[in-house]
Structure 1
Amino acid sequence: MQFTKGNKPVMSTLMHQGRAAYAFFERNWNLTKRYWAWEIVWLIYNIANALTVTFIAKLAGETDPVKENYYILVLLIGTSVWSYLSVTFEGVTDVINIERWEGTIEHTFMAPISRFTHLIGSCWYAIAHGLLFSVLQLLIVGAFFHLDLGHANYLSALFILLVGSISFIGFGIASSVLPLLFTEKGSQMSFIIRAVLLLFSGVYYPIDVLPVWMQKVAIFSPATYVLEGLRNAIINGSPIWSPQILNNTWPLILAGAISIPLGIYIFGVAERYSKRTGRLKRNG
């Protein structure tokens, strides 16, 4: 028996939306291939930036090999999450920006698909792109140091990163309204969101060193739990079922459950405002 919604089978609707989401995934992949040189430039920039930060740890722990290994891993994980968040956010905001400038965004908004399908399709590609990008950076930067990874639990690291990605989707969708509203510098304005997010989350340091009021804000940042979970998985080798991983998992699930609907709602408000004020026609 097939459930129906009006005259249209529910299963058929789900398949249609699934194919549409994949279409956005494939389109964004084609855009990445179109600008492949930029991908190389961005990768080199992030590797150079990560090395600049990570060599500080080598200096700080040069008298103690154990501390040196710990410091390097802490900063290496921090730079990798920074790159992952940057690539993920840009994967969403850049697509909106490109469509604005090429004059195709109105056609996308008129397509017979839900905004949820449109945005989730773009976000999943951004996540896949960010994961690949960050793993490459992690491997290349890690090759510069003699790291002891004998205790690392890669399954837990992958698990916490994937769960964290769900919570990042909502923030990515919310930040994508900036290039929708501000053509010239909207994409660059999204930098401040991830920068503030990581500042409060202890990207290069434990949040214990932050002022008390900043520590309270850090509780609401999903990046806090991603960073803590990754460091427990890679440095301490914590398994998925351990408290160190599970205690960082449920806040990420909760953040995703709140941020995704909220992000889509914010995008819908911005879309209606852009249509009403004629901002979508600003291109070239």
Structure 2
Amino acid sequence: MASLIHQGRAAYAFFERNWNLTKRYWAWEIVWLCYNVVNALSITFIARATPDLKPAQVNYMILYLLIGTSVWTYLSVTFDGVTDVINIERWEGTIEHTFMAPISRFTHMIGSCWYAIVHGLLFTGLQLFVVVLFFHLDLSQANYLTAIFMLLLGSVSFIGFGIATSVLPLLYTEKGMQMSFIVRAIILLVSGVYYPVSVLPAWMQPFSWLSPATYVLNGLRAALLSNKPIWSPEIWSYTWPLIIMSVVSIPLGMTIFRMAERYAKRTGRLKRNG
């Protein structure tokens, strides 16, 4: 019991450390918030610019695109919240101290991932608040309970991908962060963020099945556009792949990270650059 309490406190310490880092680089938070708000508005206004749509169709399309931009912002911030930890610790010169601390790597990652989820929710909430001011939306068919359920379940499954991708800045000191952007871009392409997966070329569509974002987006759209409850067969068809991905991706991501950490220590890749 004492050990469990110690690990919980250690996990919270990483949560608090990441919050302090966010405060230290607060200007970047404003930059990215402005960028994401403008990006979301630019994409969502496409619905109003599309000709020959009835008012109900315009509302549907606005919500369709708004869900895509909001979910993508949330998953991106959550994803980056895990991968950026390594890069920021290199800048700060603390990565070697963190890896020598007498805590498990699982505790380290749990604290960082916990903060990434909270940070992502707050960031996306602010973006939604601003964007919704520009539109009059009909949410009479929305099932908010299902939407929250799908978002939280998707967060857990996406964390495993973030942990695995954080290996890139760990191993490649100068190009690792850029390489993680490529991974995120591929997920954006195949997950149907702004369009149905069915419009992709046939050879690309199977890749969408491997992305948790695909199921989160489909589930949220079913919840907010069609009022689907959690227990409906359609929502379950998106839920069980996310459960499997959560069970598989987090242990796999941790295993990959531990292997990369041992390699980085053995080859001296943890030294501070810049």
TM-score interval (norm. to shorter): over 0.9
CA distance in 1 between partners of 2:43 and 2:221 (Å): 17
> Aligned letter for 1:31?
L
Q: Report the TM-score when normalising by structure 2.
A: 0.96
Match of 1:180 in 2: 170
Q: Pick from 2, 24, 37: which aligns with 1:47?
A: 37
Q: Using the alignment, how far apart are the partners of 1:19 and 1:76 within structure 2?
A: 38
What residue is the counterpart of 1:104 in the other structure? 94
Q: What residue in structure 1 maps to residue 217 of structure 2?
A: 227
Which deviates further from its counterpart, 162-171 or 140-149? Answer: 140-149
What is aligned with 1:72?
62
Q: Judge conservation of contact 1:85–1:194 (CA < 8 Å) in 2.
A: no
CA displacement at 1:62 relative to structure 2: 5.7
2:10 to 1, 20, 35: 20
User: Which residue of structure 2 aligns with residue 283 of structure 1?
Assistant: 273
Alignment of 1:29 onto 2:26: no
Aligned to 2:141: 151
Partners of 2:119 and 2:154 lie apart in 1 by 15
Which residue of 175, 180, 195 maps to 1:190? Answer: 180
Between stretches 209-218 and 221-230, larger displacement belongs to: 209-218
Find the residue that maps to 1:146 and give its secondary structure. coil
How many Å apart are 1:129 and its aligned residue? 0.5
- Name the TM-score, length of structure 1 as normaliser: 0.93
Q: Using the alignment, how far apart are the partners of 2:53 and 2:85 within structure 1?
A: 47
Q: Match for 1:41: what amino acid?
A: V
Does the alignment pair 1:199 with 2:185? no
Size of the aligned set, in residue pairs, is: 274
Which runs of structure 2 are paired with 1:234-273 in the superposition (5 Å)?
Answer: 234-273=224-263
Inter-CA distance 242–61: structure 2 relative to 1 (3 Å threshold): farther
Structure 2 letter corresponding to 1:190: S
The 1-side partners of 2:168 and 2:15 are apart by 21
What is the distance in 1 between the residues matched to 2:91 and 2:229? Answer: 46
Q: Deviations over 1:80-117 (max 9, x none)?
A: 11111211121112221111122211111111111111
Q: CA deviation at 1:136?
A: 1.5
Shift in Å at residue 239 of structure 1? 1.4
> How many Å separate the matches in 2 of 1:136 and 1:116?
30
Give CA-to-partner distance per residue, 1:216-238, whole Å, 9 cap, x none: 22112111100000101111111
- Mean alpha-carbon deviation: is it higher for 108-117 or for 138-147? 138-147
Question: Partner of 1:82 in structure 2?
Answer: 72
What is the alpha-carbon distance in structure 1 between the residues aligned to residue 52 and residue 260 of structure 2? 51
Displaced runs of 4 or more, over 2 A: none
- Structure 1 CA distance for aligned equivalents of residues 173 and 207 of structure 2: 31
Identity %: 73
1:8-31 CA-to-partner distances (Å, cap 9, x unmatched) read: xxx222111111111101111111
Residue number among 150, 154, 158 corresponding to 1:164 in the alignment: 154
Q: Structure 2: where are the runs of 5+ without partners?
A: none
The 2-side partners of 1:62 and 1:147 are apart by 19
SS in structure 2 of the partner of residue 145 of structure 1: coil
User: RMSD over aligned Cα, in angstroms?
Assistant: 1.2
Unaligned runs of 5+ in 1: 1-10
> What per-residue deviation string (whole Å, max 9, x for no partner) do you get for residues 15-68 of structure 1?
111111111011111111111121111100000011111111111256311111
| SS in structure 2 at match of 1:231 | helix
- C-alpha distance in 1 between matches for 2:44 and 2:11: 38
- Asked if structure 2 preserves the Cα contact closer than 8 Å seen for 1:47 and 1:137, the reply is yes
